[in-house]
Structure 1
Amino acid sequence: MMIAPPQARRLLIVLFRKPGFWLGLMMLLWPPLWGQEDSSRYGGTVLIGLKGDFDSLNELRAADSDALQVIQFMLFRSLTRLDEHLQFAPDLAQSWQFSHGDSVVTFELRRDVRWSDGVPTTAEDVWFTWRLAIDPEVGYPAASRFDLVDTVIVAGRYEVQFRLRRPYPDVLYDLQMPILPKHVLEKIPPDSLSAAPFNRQPIGNGPFILKEWKANRRVVLEANPNYPPQRPYLNRVVFTIIPDETVLLNSLLTGEVDVVPSLTPLGFRQAQEHPQVRAIRYQGRNFTFVGWNNRHPFFTVQVRRALTHAINKQEIIQTLLQGFAQPANGPLLPFVWAYDPELPTLEFDPEKARRLLAEAGWQDTDGDGVREKNGQPFEFSLKTNAGNQIRRDVAVMIQAQLRQIGVRVNVDIVEWNLLIRQVFGEKDFDALILGWDADFTVNPAPLWHCRAIEEGYNLVSYCNPRVDSLLELGRSISDRERAKPIWREFQRIIVEEAPYTFLFIPDQLAGVRRRVHGVDMDVRGFLAGITGWWIPVQQRKYKSRQSYRR
């Protein structure tokens, strides 16, 4: 038996008299319940129902918003990320600093990140991603995000510098692009990247790894066990493709899927009433629009303005979206610092629409209810994607509204992947209804710059040299207050010339089965917090791979 020396006995007596001593001793001796609670969260499968398949899982090729979220939040790491407060947080980069008058940004990378094939992620990958993104043969639609980057320097195995042409306020937003693996993609000629197997079989470094992609059926991702600082709670996430919105909603209500990130207003009401479903409404950052193909001989500026005056956005919002939206007024959304709150808009005014059409030479001379010019009736096709009931209904309502001013509209519902080919590749449409996810940075060039007709997302082939100069000038000014007048003029030109009719900014309406915990969706996207989703052990399903096969 050992006896403590007098000094130790006096110390123990003092400690015993301190009230915090016993609490501390209990915390040391008590079983590690906190660790056990965390470890019990690991495991389980979540099924997410989507209306359409992904187009690509390569950032350089993807246009589908759901695919871009999977790329950003599940498969790849960016230098930085936005946290729930929309503040920049470390991701692949553990730290960064500005120097040389804010014209150089140096990133220090984590040393423990590996690609899913085991190869380390290094500064060479960052440099290579930048080179690919700006290569015109690649045709990255958002390449303009690097317009103000002069060069990228590999300063060490885990250190990379971005040297800017001039400082500007949104640089960290622009450098959030997911980093790609050099050792995989350097073997592929840039002009062949669009057909590369990588687009459907990516090697990533994010919290999940792609395991299976059955076209138009399902996409399966599994947790990356080597993801630092810790792997996600879920073992597996399965995206199930259910094009029909009614079937998709029923799958949520019956528990066939756990999450539907995009519900109709009617579906949202039904989800609110279901005891096993949590209905989530959160701020969106996308807008729905009618795009007028500027190559079409009908759609002059005056005619586009007339058509915009004839569309009743408030009727659409109240009737079809049950008020779950706000009107969209221009090319920038209200949460962006450059947004002009006093932007003049083309208000609903059917009489003005009729007058503008008559002035443009469109008259109903034969009394059949359809205007004509030079013997050609004013008739066109309005396309949108199958599986989206809201857009289908919007198209039908616009068809009825334009009929009131003597314009005949034929609604054309097209399968998603076919629509992407027709619109992005061939520009084969008269007018279309689509939506864009807006970015947190102010860089509208991929939608509106003349060069973006071939290289970006300028689907409507709108080209205005003054707009081009404003886009370039606005991005070059680092002082936001000095830049605001530039962006104000840009917004006003777009509204005045009406290449789009801006319709509405919908609230994001989602449904989540209550067995899935930790789901907080916000303006960043429905997958932003997926590493924290978890399922209690007693509520887990899908024990084997066969169990989630449809």
Structure 2
Amino acid sequence: MRLFVFLTLMALCGCRSKSALDAGAPAQAVSRDWLDGKLPSETGAPRPGGTLTVRVMSEPSCLNALEDACRDGWVLRMTRGLVVETLVEISADGSLKPGLAASWKDAADHRTTTFTLRTDATFSDGRNLTSNDVIATLDALMDVKRSTGSLRGEFAGLSKWKAVDEKTVELSWSTPSPFTLRALSHVPILSATQLAGDWTELARKPLGSGPYVIAAWERGQSLTLQKREGASAYLDRIVFRFVKDHTAAAALFERGEVDLMTAITPQLWRSLEGATWAQRDWNRIKSLDNSYSYIAWNEANPHFADVRVRRALAHLYDARLISRIVDLDLEVPTTCPYLQGSKLCDANVKPLPFSPGTARALLTDAGFVDSDGDGVLERDGKPLRFHFLLPSTQVRLSKLVPLLQEQMKPVGIDLDIEKVETSTLSSRVSKRDFDAVSRLWTEFDTEQDLFQMFHSSQIGTGANWVGFSNAEVDRLIEQVRAEFDADKRHALARQLHAKLYSEQPYLFMTSRQSLDAAKKTVHGLVPSVSWYDLRVVWVEH
């Protein structure tokens, strides 16, 4: 029995008791930086050419980042800055830098922003990128008939957009916000010609102005980018290899069939500390993302519309147990929807403690009783029973959700696990066809606008999939997004954080740390909230 348990755990982490690659290899001292996931300093000169193969844990259904169905973190990582470009970009330090816009000027009252486009920008079909393409992109984004509501929510204050000339664009804002310029780093500027055509082709192969083109997309296998002739990038090719199963990915990793291994599980990360082959051939990379894992409670379910129920559920989340058993202490507990440790988070907000007794008291106060003695609480004849959507390939949640199920059952809550494919889950969430679901929100910036997720106006049109509505939260969101003074804005954001945690539309669980590894032949990787800039990455070959 002990052997069976040991082999099962080894399979789950995608590791072996003794790797063939370690056979006969001498033990070597491991540096503190390697253990901490810090990359060594670069010393060599970049060399153009070669191929970088990247493991990707989920395959998107489409690549048009304007569309709601394609608003996936991996779509942005695989295309933004590589295939498509944006007017402005976010630097590794969080500052804005030019993208397709060589420069811009903001009016004193922040109601007009004028962009001057680069003169050398061309699409991969050879056509010059002009202001007409920018206007066509914004037309598509702001068209309420298009399924672009999630991204459109970031531009609620955009009132007019026009081309001044071939290389100049002017945007007007009815409600100026410090977030609007930064939000433009999320908008890929696409070809006006392609936007006017069949969006099915756009979803499969967007025509961009970046240094790479989509050379091939083998569904279920890989996406290959090929460098354009004369483009400003080092790598000839980038291959994103789709490997959902963590055990299969670990095997590819150990065999050296990928150059950049992403989304390493906590179990595999810990096992690498004793793997000579990993210490010899790979650099580990650990960095804190501006992201958080959460459980969303759909308030279309009358039970979850009651804040007492949501708070009771939060008291049944045993953060210490989950951190120790599921995350191996490699994720950072959080209560905050902003970047962990930033001035936007209120340090005085503490996690609600694990307390089944407090949960029972809250549910009793909310009118729940077990009138028929079946072990499940009811209110107005409706049992406190709900479905939890679980991605079928998600290792972390496959461990976490059963723990929640165990904690909730003695209190009288019946949690039913419903496993679905990732693509099905995304579709159901966007349609609000769920009771509860756990997701990861990732922001490729150091500061974000919470309007699209939590403002009541975004129910049914934006990313407020839980149907959360609170007048004070609406007011604070509006104040935050209108305040240009950073200190005042951060103070308002801290109030918003405290109110959101009190209301519990989401159960905020952890700030995620990226656990990656790169071969020692890969250079130029700089982890940031924007991921890696693969345009400056090069390989020894």
Per the TM alignment, residue 397 of structure 1 is displaced from its structure 2 partner at its CA by 1.6
- The match for 2:377 is 371
Per the TM alignment, residue 509 of structure 1 is displaced from its structure 2 partner at its CA by 0.5
Of 284-293 and 513-522, the range deviating more from structure 2: 513-522
Query: Where does structure 2 lack aligned partners over 5 or more consecutive residues?
Result: 1-43
- Check if 1:137 corresponds to 2:145: yes
Structure 2 residue corresponding to 1:85, chosen from 83, 93, 102: 93
- The match for 1:211 is 215
- The match for 2:322 is 316
- The match for 2:419 is 413
Per-residue deviation, residues 9-68 of structure 1 (Å, max 9, x unmatched) = xxxxxxxxxxxxxxxxxxxxxxxxxxxx96x82222222112211132112112221112
Please give the residue correspondences for 1:44-123 in structure 2 after superposition, counting only pairs within 5 Å. Answer: 44-61=50-67, 62-123=70-131
Distance in 1 (alpha carbons) for counterparts of 2:78 and 2:266: 24
Contact 1:282 1:521 in 2 (8 A): yes
SS at match of 1:73: coil
Structure 2 residue corresponding to 1:494, chosen from 496, 500, 513: 500
Matched AA of 1:200: R
Distance in 2 (alpha carbons) for counterparts of 1:259 and 1:387: 21
Per the TM alignment, residue 437 of structure 1 is displaced from its structure 2 partner at its CA by 0.6
- The match for 2:253 is 252
- The match for 2:441 is 436
Distance in 1 (alpha carbons) for counterparts of 2:381 and 2:113: 61
Distance in 2 (alpha carbons) for counterparts of 1:169 and 1:374: 47
Structure 2 residue corresponding to 1:221, chosen from 222, 225, 248: 225
Distance in 2 (alpha carbons) for counterparts of 1:262 and 1:450: 33
Contact 2:334 2:508 in 1 (8 A): yes
Contact 1:338 1:488 in 2 (8 A): yes
Distance in 2 (alpha carbons) for counterparts of 1:271 and 1:509: 12
In our comparison, the structure showing a higher alpha carbon Rg is 1
Distance in 2 (alpha carbons) for counterparts of 1:350 and 1:327: 20
- The match for 2:135 is 127
Please give the residue correspondences for 1:425-504 in structure 2 after superposition, counting only pairs within 5 Å. Answer: 425=431, 427-438=432-443, 439-504=445-510
Give the 3 Å change call, closer, same or farther, for CA 152–324 of structure 1 in structure 2.
same
Distance in 1 (alpha carbons) for counterparts of 2:453 and 2:321: 27
SS at match of 1:323: coil
SS at match of 2:522: coil
Per the TM alignment, residue 335 of structure 1 is displaced from its structure 2 partner at its CA by 5.2
- The match for 1:529 is 533
Per the TM alignment, residue 367 of structure 1 is displaced from its structure 2 partner at its CA by 4.8
Per-residue deviation, residues 173-229 of structure 1 (Å, max 9, x unmatched) = 1222333334324424xxx85xx22011110111211111122221111112243xx
Per the TM alignment, residue 336 of structure 1 is displaced from its structure 2 partner at its CA by 5.0
Matched AA of 1:69: R
Give the 3 Å change call, closer, same or farther, for CA 138–335 of structure 1 in structure 2.
farther
Give the 3 Å change call, closer, same or farther, for CA 308–157 of structure 1 in structure 2.
same
Matched AA of 1:446: Q
SS at match of 2:269: helix
Per the TM alignment, residue 122 of structure 1 is displaced from its structure 2 partner at its CA by 1.3
Matched AA of 2:97: A
Give the 3 Å change call, closer, same or farther, for CA 52–484 of structure 1 in structure 2.
closer
Give the 3 Å change call, closer, same or farther, for CA 375–88 of structure 1 in structure 2.
closer
Of 160-169 and 149-158, the range deviating more from structure 2: 160-169
Contact 1:271 1:278 in 2 (8 A): no
- Check if 1:171 corresponds to 2:180: yes
Q: CA RMSD in A?
A: 2.3
- Check if 1:506 corresponds to 2:512: yes
SS at match of 2:289: coil
Distance in 1 (alpha carbons) for counterparts of 2:56 and 2:282: 17
Distance in 2 (alpha carbons) for counterparts of 1:373 and 1:103: 51
Per-residue deviation, residues 113-167 of structure 1 (Å, max 9, x unmatched) = 1111111111222222222212111232121322233322322211222233354
Of 321-330 and 141-150, the range deviating more from structure 2: 141-150
Of 304-313 and 131-140, the range deviating more from structure 2: 131-140
Of 365-374 and 321-330, the range deviating more from structure 2: 365-374
Give the 3 Å change call, closer, same or farther, for CA 287–150 of structure 1 in structure 2.
same
Distance in 2 (alpha carbons) for counterparts of 1:370 and 1:181: 53
Per the TM alignment, residue 411 of structure 1 is displaced from its structure 2 partner at its CA by 2.0
- The match for 2:292 is 287
Contact 2:163 2:169 in 1 (8 A): yes
Per the TM alignment, residue 296 of structure 1 is displaced from its structure 2 partner at its CA by 1.0
Give the 3 Å change call, closer, same or farther, for CA 102–358 of structure 1 in structure 2.
closer
Give the 3 Å change call, closer, same or farther, for CA 262–333 of structure 1 in structure 2.
same
- The match for 1:546 is none
Per-residue deviation, residues 426-469 of structure 1 (Å, max 9, x unmatched) = x2211111110134333111111223222222221222344333
Percent identity of equivalent pairs: 26
Distance in 1 (alpha carbons) for counterparts of 2:240 and 2:475: 42
Matched AA of 2:162: I
Distance in 2 (alpha carbons) for counterparts of 1:441 and 1:173: 9
Per the TM alignment, residue 380 of structure 1 is displaced from its structure 2 partner at its CA by 1.8
Per the TM alignment, residue 385 of structure 1 is displaced from its structure 2 partner at its CA by 1.5
Per the TM alignment, residue 477 of structure 1 is displaced from its structure 2 partner at its CA by 2.4
Of 116-125 and 268-277, the range deviating more from structure 2: 268-277
Distance in 2 (alpha carbons) for counterparts of 1:271 and 1:137: 50
Contact 1:334 1:341 in 2 (8 A): no
- The match for 2:12 is none
Structure 1 residue corresponding to 2:395, chosen from 346, 365, 389: 389
Per the TM alignment, residue 289 of structure 1 is displaced from its structure 2 partner at its CA by 0.7
Matched AA of 2:86: S
- Check if 1:151 corresponds to 2:151: no
Distance in 2 (alpha carbons) for counterparts of 1:500 and 1:441: 19
Matched AA of 2:224: V
Distance in 2 (alpha carbons) for counterparts of 1:84 and 1:423: 31
Per the TM alignment, residue 485 of structure 1 is displaced from its structure 2 partner at its CA by 5.0
Distance in 2 (alpha carbons) for counterparts of 1:517 and 1:412: 42
TM-score, normalised by the number of residues in structure 2: 0.85
Contact 1:139 1:456 in 2 (8 A): no
Per-residue deviation, residues 290-346 of structure 1 (Å, max 9, x unmatched) = 111111122222111101111112221222111112212033333554332223543
Matched AA of 2:419: I
Distance in 2 (alpha carbons) for counterparts of 1:128 and 1:239: 29
Distance in 1 (alpha carbons) for counterparts of 2:135 and 2:387: 44
How many residues align? The count is 489
Of 427-436 and 402-411, the range deviating more from structure 2: 402-411
Distance in 2 (alpha carbons) for counterparts of 1:290 and 1:469: 24
Please give the residue correspondences for 1:192-207 in structure 2 after superposition, counting only pairs within 5 Å. Answer: 193=199, 196-207=200-211
Give the 3 Å change call, closer, same or farther, for CA 398–241 of structure 1 in structure 2.
same
